[in-house]
């Protein structure tokens, strides 16, 4: 051990430093003892958990966590029953840091102890209880990981899993229409219906998903064209408007309305309280401050289009922009999210999912038993990863979707069909989400990605298997055809589809 090389005199000197009048010296001593890892320092470090300086207490707890011996565990668990709440919290943090299998039974016994429960209740110390639970969870998780490394065992595949659906389901996934005129609506709906009925043999659709950028500049005229396009598809494929899922993209907010929400004014000291992103700097003396009520109106034209299709307005309150579409006959639930809620003409790369919108939606899903066994799909516009700066950088929300039982997520924006995988658990049959990105259905030719023509996806479900068909159109007035870009392995030809086992 390192402390043997340093010598007992050096250890004793560091221990004496824990009583130094200078808090910075006590902090340094605690950190050094934690790095050395000597059991001799356990008792003095335990005493330092009662230090008047909070930074010293934190350093001592961290040091005990690094030492992590059986003796340290016992003493820290005793500290959880101390009459001083901050000492209990420090001990719980340290136990979470140690996280060995020896910690697990001791923490379980403590949580079952009636005297410990009485102390928590008497002092109203919910923080200690929560941190103790986290310490137990961290210990169990780390122990399971180490055990898996030491003695790997294959995770058995579930025997005869229940089929997701007992019927065939067809979902049309379009993205990035960028539609502008009625002429486009007529031509595009005809081309699409021709491909689905004659080439793919799809007589009816169960759901139509549009993952954003439906319009190009978010004007009423463009949405009139989009409404005509959808009306034609509804007639061709017996679609009820309730079967259409719509989420906005960055082109579905109106930049002119966004500009009107920013008011030019001289900068004062009061403006120092403004959060970054809530104003635009013009000069050091002049800024544009946004009016929040007007700012939300940049989605007003999309809202009216949404109401025309779905017979209800799209909520402008960001907290409510997690919309659930439930299809009980197909045992299907689709959650639509707005990844463009922070974007405008000036801030073009702030793609994100509003945390409260997600929380509100997942709470509704958790509390409704009719949703529990559904196949769950989430839809938004922006990618999790892209070559540009406009991807969703804060990706904690995807972990929440995995925990809530979502299996797929659909998006667009990057104008090329892609597939991806987010793994929440490492086991072969653990929680995961397959990502399905549709290419652009109707962007201007100069906005196509090299090597990627106009594209769309058709998703078909049979039992526990999903097949994604990708279609391509190379000429503006041409026909759709198979897009054989999905490679199958060395020596194998590419196909126009790929399969996902659910």
How many C-alpha atoms does 249 have within 13 Å on its Cβ side? Answer: 28
Q: 246: closest CA among 359, 165, 340, 144?
A: 340
Helix (H) or strand (E) holding 476: none
Which residues are CB-neighbours of 64 under 8 A, at least 6 positions away?
Answer: 34, 42, 45, 46, 49, 72, 75, 76, 94, 97, 98
Hey, what are 385's tokens? 């990863």
Hey, what are 445's tokens? 């030719």
Q: What is the pLDDT of residue 70?
A: 47
Low-confidence ranges of the chain (pLDDT < 70): 1-8, 37-39, 65-166
CA dihedral sign, ordered 169, 170, 176, 177: negative
Which residues in the chain are classed under CATH 1.25.10.10? 2-150
State the Cα–Cα distance between residues 497 and 210, nearest whole angstrom: 20
Stated pTM of the model = 0.69
Residues 306, 307, 313, 319: what is their CA dihedral angle, to the nearest 10 degrees?
-20
Helix (H) or strand (E) holding 498: strand 497-501
What are the backbone angles phi and psi of residue 262, rounded to the nearest 5°? Answer: -95, 125
Q: What is the pLDDT of residue 76?
A: 65
Q: What is the pLDDT of residue 152?
A: 42
Q: 218: closest CA among 119, 133, 344, 81?
A: 344
Hey, what are 223's tokens? 């949405």
Q: 297: closest CA among 277, 317, 276?
A: 317
Distance between terminal CA atoms of the chain? 50
State the Cα–Cα distance between residues 253 and 320, nearest whole angstrom: 17
| Contact yes or no for 432/421 (Cβ under 8 A) | yes
Topology of domain 2-150, CATH: 1.25.10
Which residues in the chain are classed under CATH 3.60.21.10? 169-501
User: What superfamily in CATH does domain 169-501 come from?
Assistant: Metallo-dependent phosphatases (3.60.21.10)
291 DSSP 8-state letter: P
Q: What is the pLDDT of residue 104?
A: 61
Hey, what are 315's tokens? 């909520």
């Amino acid at each position: 051990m390192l402390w043997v090389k340093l010598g007992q005199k050096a250890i004793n000197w560091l221990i004496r430093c824990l009583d130094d009048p200078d808090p910075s010296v006590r902090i340094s001593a605690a950190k050094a003892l934690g790095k050395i890892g000597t059991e001799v320092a356990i008792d003095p470090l335990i005493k330092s958990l009662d230090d008047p300086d909070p930074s010293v207490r934190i350093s001592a707890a961290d040091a005990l966590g690094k030492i992590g011996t059986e003796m340290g565990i016992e003493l820290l668990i005793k500290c959880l029953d101390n009459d001083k709440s901050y000492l209990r919290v420090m001990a719980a943090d340290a136990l979470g840091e140690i996280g060995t299998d020896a910690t697990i039974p001791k923490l379980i016994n403590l949580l079952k102890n009636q005297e410990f429960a009485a102390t928590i209740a008497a002092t109203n110390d919910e923080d200690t209880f929560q941190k103790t639970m986290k310490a137990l969870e961290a210990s169990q998780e780390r122990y399971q990981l180490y055990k898996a490394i030491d003695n790997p065992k294959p995770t058995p595949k579930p025997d005869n899993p229940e089929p997701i659906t007992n019927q065939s389901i067809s979902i049309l996934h379009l993205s990035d229409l960028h539609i502008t005129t009625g002429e486009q609506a007529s031509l595009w709906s005809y081309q699409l219906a021709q491909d689905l009925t004659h080439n793919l043999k799809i007589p009816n659709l169960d759901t139509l998903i549009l993952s954003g950028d439906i319009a190009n500049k978010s004007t009423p005229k463009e949405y009139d064209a989009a409404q005509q396009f959808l009306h034609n598809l509804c007639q061709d494929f017996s679609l009820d408007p309730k079967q259409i899922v719509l989420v906005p993209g960055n082109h579905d907010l109106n930049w002119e309305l966004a500009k009107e929400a920013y008011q030019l004014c001289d900068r004062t000291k009061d403006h120092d309280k403004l959060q970054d992103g809530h104003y635009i700097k013009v000069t050091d003396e002049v800024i544009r401050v946004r009016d929040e009520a007007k700012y939300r109106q940049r989605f007003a034209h999309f809202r009216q289009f949404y109401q025309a299709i779905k017979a209800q307005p799209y909520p402008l309150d960001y907290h409510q922009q997690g919309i659930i579409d439930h299809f009980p006959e197909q045992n299907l639930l689709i959650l639509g999210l707005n990844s463009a809620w922070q974007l405008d003409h000036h801030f073009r790369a702030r793609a994100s999912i509003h945390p409260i919108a997600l929380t509100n939606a997942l709470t509704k899903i958790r509390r409704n038993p009719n949703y529990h066994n559904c196949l769950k799909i989430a839809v938004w516009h922006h990618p999790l990863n892209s070559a540009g700066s406009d991807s969703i950088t804060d990706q904690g929300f995807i972990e929440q979707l995995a925990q809530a039982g979502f299996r797929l997520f659909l998006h667009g924006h990057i104008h090329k069909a892609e597939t991806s995988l987010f793994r929440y658990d490492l086991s072969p049959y653990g929680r995961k989400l397959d990502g399905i990105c549709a290419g652009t259905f109707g962007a201007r030719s100069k906005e196509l990605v090299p090597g990627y023509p106009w594209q769309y996806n058709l998703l078909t479900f049979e039992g526990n298997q999903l097949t994604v068909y990708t279609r391509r159109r190379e000429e503006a007035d041409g026909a759709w055809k198979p897009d054989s870009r999905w490679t199958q392995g060395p020596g194998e030809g590419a196909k126009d589809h790929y399969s996902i086992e659910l």
